[in-house]
Structure 1
Amino acid sequence: MPTIEGNLCPACQTTLTASPDTAELDAAPWCGACEWNLDHHPDDRRYAWFARRMERADRQAGFASQRELARSAEPAPVRAGVHRFLVAVSAALLLLLAGLLVGGLWLVAGGGGIWPVGGGLALLLIVLLLRPRFTRLKKLLTRSYRVERTNAPTMFQLIDRIADRLDAPRPDVLLFDFGWNAAVVGIGPRPRRALVLGVPLLLALGPQEVVALVGHEMGHLKYADNRRLVLTAPARTMFGQVARTIRPPLRAPADLGIDPSVAFFVVAWQLIAGTASLLLHAAHLGINRAASRDDRTVELRADAMAAEAAGSAAALRLLDVLAILPTLPEYVQHYVPQGEAAVTWRRMLRSVRERETATVAWRQLSIRRDASLLSSHPAAGRRYQWLTAQPAREAAVVLTEAEAESLEAEIRPYAEALHRTMLKARPDDR
Structure 2
Amino acid sequence: MADTDPWCAACEWNLESFAPAENAGWVWRLIDRWDSRAGFRVDRRIVEAYLRNPEAAVPRAGYLFLVLISAVLMLLLAAVVVAGLRFLLQGERLPIIPGALLLGGAWLLRPRLGRLKKLLRGVHVVPVTRAPVLHNLVERIARETGAPLPDVLALDYSWNAYAAVVGIRRTKVLVLGIPLLLVMGPQHLVALIGHELGHLRHKDNGRRLLTQPALTAFGTFSELLRPPRGNAVDLRLAGSTAFLFTAWQAVTGVVSLLLFAVHLGVHVLDSRGSRRAELRADAMSVQAAGSTAAMEMVDLSPLLPELRGYVRGHVPEGRQAGDHWRSMLTLARDRELRSVAVQRQLSIRLGASLLASHPAPGRRRQWMAGLPYALPAVVVSAGDAAAIEAELNPYAAAMHRWMVG
Query: Percent same amino acid among aligned pairs?
Result: 46
**Does residue 217 in structure 1 map to residue 196 in structure 2?**
yes
- Quickly say closer, same or farther: Cα 1:180–1:288, change in 2 above 3 A: same
**Does residue 170 in structure 1 map to residue 153 in structure 2?**
no
Q: After the TM superposition, which residues 17-166 of structure 1 pair with which residues of structure 2 at under 5 Å, given as runs?
A: 19=1, 25-45=2-22, 47-72=24-49, 73=51, 74-75=53-54, 76-113=56-93, 115-166=94-145
Q: 1:403 aligns with which of 377, 384, 388?
A: 384
2:95 is matched by which residue type in structure 1?
A: P
The TM-score, its normalising length taken from structure 1, stands at: 0.88
- Quickly say closer, same or farther: Cα 1:173–1:274, change in 2 above 3 A: same
1:307 deviates by 0.9
**Does residue 387 in structure 1 map to residue 361 in structure 2?**
no
- Corresponding position of 1:374: 355
Check whether the contact 2:47–2:367 (CA below 8 A) recurs between aligned residues. Answer: yes
1:250 deviates by 5.2
1:301 deviates by 1.4
- Corresponding position of 2:310: 331
Q: What is the rounded CA distance, in whole Å, between the counterparts of 2:202 and 2:30 in structure 1?
A: 37
- Quickly say closer, same or farther: Cα 1:253–1:333, change in 2 above 3 A: farther
| Stretch of structure 1 that moved more, 117-126 or 404-413 | 117-126
Report the secondary structure of 2:84's partner residue: helix
Report the secondary structure of 1:71's partner residue: helix
1:46 deviates by 5.2
1:134 deviates by 2.5
1:168 deviates by 1.3
Check whether the contact 2:116–2:171 (CA below 8 A) recurs between aligned residues. Answer: no
Report the secondary structure of 1:315's partner residue: helix
| Stretch of structure 1 that moved more, 167-176 or 331-340 | 331-340
- Corresponding position of 1:351: 331
Task: Give the RMSD, CA atoms, in angstroms.
Answer: 1.9
Q: 2:180 aligns with which of 196, 201, 204?
A: 201
Q: What is the rounded CA distance, in whole Å, between the counterparts of 1:80 and 1:355 in structure 2?
A: 42
Q: After the TM superposition, which residues 214-293 of structure 1 pair with which residues of structure 2 at under 5 Å, given as runs?
A: 214-249=193-228, 251-254=230-233, 256-261=234-239, 262-293=241-272
1:265 deviates by 2.2
Q: What is the rounded CA distance, in whole Å, between the counterparts of 1:267 and 1:357 in structure 2?
A: 58
Q: What is the rounded CA distance, in whole Å, between the counterparts of 1:70 and 1:374 in structure 2?
A: 16
1:369 deviates by 1.7
| Stretch of structure 1 that moved more, 74-83 or 230-239 | 74-83
- Quickly say closer, same or farther: Cα 1:307–1:205, change in 2 above 3 A: same
- Corresponding position of 1:412: 393
- Corresponding position of 1:306: 285
Q: What is the rounded CA distance, in whole Å, between the counterparts of 2:288 and 2:395 in structure 1?
A: 25
The TM-score, its normalising length taken from structure 2, stands at: 0.93
Q: What is the rounded CA distance, in whole Å, between the counterparts of 2:209 and 2:57 in structure 1?
A: 18
1:328 deviates by 2.4
- Quickly say closer, same or farther: Cα 1:268–1:50, change in 2 above 3 A: farther
Q: What is the rounded CA distance, in whole Å, between the counterparts of 1:330 and 1:247 in structure 2?
A: 40
1:103 deviates by 1.9
Q: Tell me, which stretches of 5 or more residues in structure 1 are unaligned?
A: 1-18, 20-24, 425-430
Check whether the contact 2:18–2:349 (CA below 8 A) recurs between aligned residues. Answer: yes
- Corresponding position of 1:427: none
1:209 is matched by which residue type in structure 2?
A: H
